[in-house]
């Protein structure tokens, strides 16, 4: 049993660390204050192949698989959660949907430019009355000859106002419900009928965009149906399963940053004639942080390995939900302890701990709330013993 990373992954991590330190970190505070997407960073990321890390090289990607993608999300999130969010929404769910279920023609037309960073992708599922209850979406797509006519709206769509292509989920047969009446589509935002509504102002990850989207009699060619007609909800679930692993990796990066900052501060902050590292209260917080981080690291990379070696198994679905659930709660506890160790300094905007504290909170909500993750985990576990959760 070997828990070490292959040499190519170690080389990749060093490259991403350097990119994060030199290109991402210097802009982290600025894009938070200005609430702007770091286009200069995204452009540079595309130039060195970081916008399509998990995808095969034949589709313009880096061929890094889920392990490589988790390394990317861990290292970027370590210095800037906003930049990681832009990259993650693009790669991990936006383009991932048509990688998982798209046709070869769709992959050549859309995945290749997405993986190369020429297009930005987004994942449009959530609606005003369909948040955790994603099956309650009301956006409609009606067949009209060789096209579908799309009408409806989406909310809280990360990258929604900057995307070139969207994975959009719409009801195509209301009588069949979510399991047979929802279809996934690839939508180009340049098409007539698309418009952006409110761009949200947020507590954290303020350097990423979150927008309301409208579709008014937008015509979609039938060739842009993703996967089987009527099976869009299954595409959504599979895509979110994959995305949740990288969310766990991002949480791992944020937790590690909090630990490293706490260690450095405790070593250099003197109170009562000695570094606060000498205080048992500080030592216990550090010990708890480090222990949870190691548990999270094992969970994330084991799950990524299962994805790369075995694919979308039921075990993977359970573990991916655990990655998101446990990762989000570990990073919340880590940044909270980090702020406490920094005391009043941690509460001030001129120190990065304050931004990290705000950024971490969303991880318990997006891509499925933690309450939903607990439901997914319990449902899968009870299924093994013959109990169906309704």
Which residues does the annotation mark as catalytic?
367
Q: Shortest CA distance to 59 belongs to which of 13, 112, 105, 120?
A: 112
Which DSSP letter does residue 145 get?
T
Half-sphere exposure (Cβ direction) of 280: Cα atoms closer than 13 Å: 0
The DSSP secondary structure of 174-243, one letter per residue, reads GGG-HHHHEEEEEEETTSTTEEEEEEPP-SS-TTS-EEEEEEEEEEEEGGGEESSTTBHHHHHHHHHHHH
- Residue 131: CB atoms within 10 A of its CB come to 16
Task: Name every residue whose Cβ is closer than 8 Å to that of residue 380 and which is 6 or more positions away in sequence.
Answer: 314, 317, 318, 321
Radius of gyration of the chain (CA): 21
């Amino acid at each position: 049993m070997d828990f070490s990373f292959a040499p190519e992954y170690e080389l990749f991590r060093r490259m991403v660390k350097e990119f994060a330190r030199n290109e991402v970190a210097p802009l982290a505070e600025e894009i938070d204050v200005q609430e702007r997407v770091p286009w200069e960073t995204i452009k540079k990321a595309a130039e060195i192949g970081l916008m399509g890390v998990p995808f095969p090289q034949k589709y313009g990607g880096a061929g890094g698989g889920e392990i490589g993608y988790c390394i990317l999300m861990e290292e970027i999130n370590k210095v800037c959660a906003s930049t990681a969010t832009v990259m993650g929404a693009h790669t991990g769910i936006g383009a991932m949907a048509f990688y998982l279920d798209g046709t070869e023609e769709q992959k050549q037309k859309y995945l290749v430019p997405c993986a190369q960073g020429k297009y930005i992708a987004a994942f449009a599922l959530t609606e005003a009355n369909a948040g955790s209850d994603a099956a309650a979406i009301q956006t409609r797509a009606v067949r009209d000859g060789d096209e579908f006519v799309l009408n409806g709206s989406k909310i809280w769509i990360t990258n929604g106002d900057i995307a070139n292509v969207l994975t959009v989920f719409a009801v195509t047969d209301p009588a069949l419900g979510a399991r047979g009446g929802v279809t996934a589509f690839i939508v180009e935002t340049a098409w007539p009928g698309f418009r952006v509504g409110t761009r949200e102002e947020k507590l954290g990850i303020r350097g990423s965009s979150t927008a309301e989207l409208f579709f008014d009699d937008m015509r979609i060619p039938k060739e842009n149906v993703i996967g089987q007609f009527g099976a869009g909800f299954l595409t959504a679930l599979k895509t979110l399963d994959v995305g949740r692993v990288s969310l766990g990796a991002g949480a791992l990066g944020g937790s590690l940053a909090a630990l490293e900052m706490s260690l450095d501060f405790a070593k250099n902050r003197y109170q009562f004639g000695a570094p606060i590292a000498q205080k048992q209260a500080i030592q216990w917080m550090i010990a708890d942080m480090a222990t949870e981080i190691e548990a999270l690291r094992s969970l994330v990379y084991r799950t990524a390995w299962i994805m790369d070696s075995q694919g979308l198994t039921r075990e993977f679905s359970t573990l991916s939900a655990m990655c998101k659930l446990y990762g989000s709660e570990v990073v919340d506890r880590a940044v909270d302890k980090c702020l406490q160790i920094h005391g009043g300094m941690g509460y001030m905007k001129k120190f990065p701990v304050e931004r990290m504290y705000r950024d971490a909170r969303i991880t318990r909500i997006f891509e499925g709330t933690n309450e939903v993750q607990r439901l997914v985990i319990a449902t899968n576990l009870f299924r093994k013993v013959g109990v169906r959760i309704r």
